[in-house]
Structure 1
């Protein structure tokens, strides 16, 4: 895996200028070098559809009293970088180092971009928590290495539908609200049902500006949703899913019901 080769190369280079050779799988530090303010994709999860190709940024601050010589961050999925089952190196400088700009004699702001294509680089098992492995070396050969400088989510894109029937309906009669929660399957290239997930049925009365929750139900094993309510006033129904570590939150486009 290229990510491991990159980490090994960087760690080896540090061995030439530092007193201690950092282990790739553990935090290490020599001197007063620091890494802080790590932000992935603007602080949002990185969401991929079935064939999405996405480029996103990682930014961080590196500091040392002598100034920063170089820095690097790579992304990985797994307990630690040595046991990772997937990862990504930055687009900049052949994946060898970040682009860092000095903002003072001691501090640099660093930026990297990463490009991942779902149907070529991701399996469904890779959805969930990813980590940022980061290292910075100072001009005086001090360094810091962090196995998990930041955690973030790589997620399978989700869709949610709703249909309230019959329309129109007489007051006091039963309304049946159906729908489906699906998410991207990176291995088949299709969207498939997301089973046994809690989803809220919400209602917005005609003229109101916000939805209120009517009840919470679970999807079937195939992602289907079905429940009933009693017709009372005109308004819009929707289903809303709060999301999980592997799948982002999503709300259906509302379905308006005319109650007569």
Structure 2
């Protein structure tokens, strides 16, 4: 399987990137190969990139933080770059750590991967916490073309390659990250007719949609509660009028009586898989 070969390549590449040393000593150890080439070679050959052999270390990963602990919202086309910070500790101190994210039950057959995308990104920047602990950060890139809906709202696994100051390497693969990938959402509103006579009925329609990573298109988010809000002309805040449930296609529709000039909007609170979103406002002139 191509994705299995990709994992093997990444594992080897990131283990090699964890060999990084200051420039004055760069010739003492092999440089990390270019990520794209390593992945392509392993995939085409159906083989693996071998990781360097090293003695067992006492290094342990104590924390994996993604995007500073904030949700990552992804649509259907644009790639999203964010950080993966690996905090590791060892009695002799940590030289460097690197890693990537994977989804599934088995690293040998992952459902999806989120990895460094360029040569510059798989080499981390590290900050020393104390004599035994360091936090190393790499940039990783989520590509909607490689995501599936099952990857939203769940904790992804993390793979790490950690090298201590004795040059010993460990590669824990079953770490849990704090990531929450969410499928980007959109919300619209339209109040009509406009203008409208006082006391007449105003129909407020709209649609709640979200990214479908399986089809790579936006689709209606069905059976979701959405608040209809109104702000009187000249007021500074909106007031919730009612809650409307999206239909089987994500559409919204309700009616209210025209009373004063003002602006309507819809507000969706969000779910574990989909972020909160607020529509633009639609002003109505009541005569």
TM-score, normalising length: structure 2: 0.72
The aligned residue for residue 23 of structure 1 is: none
The aligned residue for residue 273 of structure 2 is: 246
Distance 2:148 2:173 in 1: 26
The aligned residue for residue 223 of structure 2 is: 196
The aligned residue for residue 32 of structure 2 is: none
For the Cα contact (< 8 Å) 1:34–1:64, is it kept in 2? no
The aligned residue for residue 7 of structure 2 is: 3
Cα 1:35–1:97 shift into 2, 3 Å: farther
In structure 2, the gaps of 5 or more residues are 16-49
Task: Return the match for 2:55 from 2, 8, 17.
Answer: 17
1:123 is the counterpart of 2:127: no
Correspondence 1:55-94 to 2 at 5 A: 55-79=81-105, 81=107, 84-91=110-117
TM-score, normalising length: structure 1: 0.79
The aligned residue for residue 219 of structure 1 is: 246
For the Cα contact (< 8 Å) 2:86–2:135, is it kept in 1? yes
Correspondence 1:19-34 to 2 at 5 A: 31=58, 33-34=60-61
Distance 1:234 1:157 in 2: 32
Task: Return the match for 2:140 from 90, 94, 114.
Answer: 114
**Which gives a bigger RCO, structure 1 or 2 (Cα 8 Å, sep 6+)?**
1
In structure 1, the gaps of 5 or more residues are 19-29
Cα 1:154–1:34 shift into 2, 3 Å: closer
- For the residue of structure 1 that corresponds to 2:178, the secondary structure is strand
Question: How many pairs align?
Answer: 246
- For the residue of structure 2 that corresponds to 1:171, the secondary structure is coil
1:55 Cα deviation from its structure 2 partner: 1.8
Distance 1:227 1:148 in 2: 47
Greater fraction of residues in strand? 1
Distance 1:4 1:172 in 2: 68
Distance 2:171 2:62 in 1: 7
Greater fraction of residues in helix? 2
Cα 1:236–1:95 shift into 2, 3 Å: closer
For the Cα contact (< 8 Å) 1:35–1:144, is it kept in 2? no
Task: Return the match for 2:262 from 235, 240, 259.
Answer: 235
